[in-house]
A = this chain, B = another copy of it.
Amino acid sequence: MLNFSYVNPVKVVFGKGQISRLRELIPMNAKILITYGGGSIKKNGVYTQVKDALAGHHWLEFGGIEPNPKYETCMQVVEMVKREKIDFLLSVGGGSVLDGTKFIAAAAKYEGGEPWDILEKGAEVKDAVKIGCVMTLPATGSESNSLAVISRNSTQQKLAYYSEKSFPQFCILDPETTMSLSERQVANGIVDTFVHVSEQYMTYPVNTPLQDRMAEGIYLTLIEETPKVKADPMNYEVRANLMWCATWGLNGWIAQGCVQDWLTHMIGHEITALTGTDHGRTLALVLPAVWSYLRESKKEKLLQYAQRIWGITGNDSNQVIDEAISRTKAFFRQAGITATKAEYGVTDEVCRKIAEIAETRNPRWGERQNITGKDVLAILDLCD
């Protein structure tokens, strides 16, 4: 196990009817800005629940944080936060709204010049407006981490940052809010969670048996619950279990002491930046190819995964790995993600651009920080 130091200070408030607890979770004297996305919270009753809970509080709202939240949009909200002297940001929606809100919170207090530097140059976040969230889409784990991913229209970039200042103070997870999600959103969320686990698990081993078992527990639960949510979308228990998996997929704990990869995400982010493809779909496309291409370097964990998750064993390790990858792809299809590279617009031109980006990275991408543009081209070539 590697040395580590970690604290996750997010209070998790989980279950039916918990949105009403906003009343006690946000100080009465706070000046709140509620941030949300395209308005689905107005259709599914979440907006009304939030409003009811905050009766008596002082709040404003900003609706319109888009999927893959844009720097340009966030900077508009930063102006509003400063102008209105907002001291609490309440994100209501999915991971995109929350990621945008985290960045707004940091950018509003940033004094080093252009806040884009936080993303592009790793400029330190020294302070941020306080954040809370009502999470309505189980996928990103953003509700329980200090990470945000922001895109910039003008440069077609999609970049991540993290900072201890960007943990929400609390997250409210009411599985009932997820029942109105589209099948597409549910599928994306399941795959996103699955791939988060993979980025922290499918790496060269450093003797972390408990972390491995916890990661495998998330895989197994996703695999068990996915057919249930397809068959019975209004089942509260299933929704609750999927929601809890998403939080654990990226609350940081399964990664502590382990080697991490994030190569699939790096390639996936570039595909989204260049083609607009949903994040979850880029991951479903890229992950199997990464595993196949890096099968030697990830061999021990791929074999462990094959055996513990799918019950596949055998003397021919290549065959075992191929079968495990094939089962993984089948699981993504079962979750509902079936489109191909061609349909996502991942042309040769797009592949070349991503390979060029990989070449500029210092350190390079991957768990061993050794992924070249040529490797990226080979991986993208393996994508179906």
Contact = CB atoms under 8 A, between A and B. Distances in A.
Contacts of A14: 1, 3-5, 256-257
A320 interface: no
A1 B214 contact: no
A262 B218 CA distance: 26
A12 B5 contact: yes
A3 to B, nearest CB: 3
Contact of A248 (B1, B208, B210): B210
Contacts of A240: 1, 207, 257
Contact of A244 (B12, B216, B257): B257
Contact of A3 (B2, B18, B241): B18
The number of chain A residues touching the other chain, given as a range, is 35 or more
A350 interface: no
A237 interface: yes
Contacts of A214: 213-214, 217
A295 to B, nearest CB: 25
A132 to B, nearest CB: 12
B210 A218 contact: yes
A73 to B, nearest CB: 30
A10 interface: yes
Contacts of A5: 11-14, 18, 21
A211 to B, nearest CB: 8
Contact of A7 (B9, B21, B217, B256): B9
A353 B257 CA distance: 46
A1 B221 contact: no
Interface string A35-71: 0000000000000000000000000000000000000
7 contacts: A3-B17, A4-B12, A5-B12, A7-B10, A9-B9, A217-B217, A240-B257
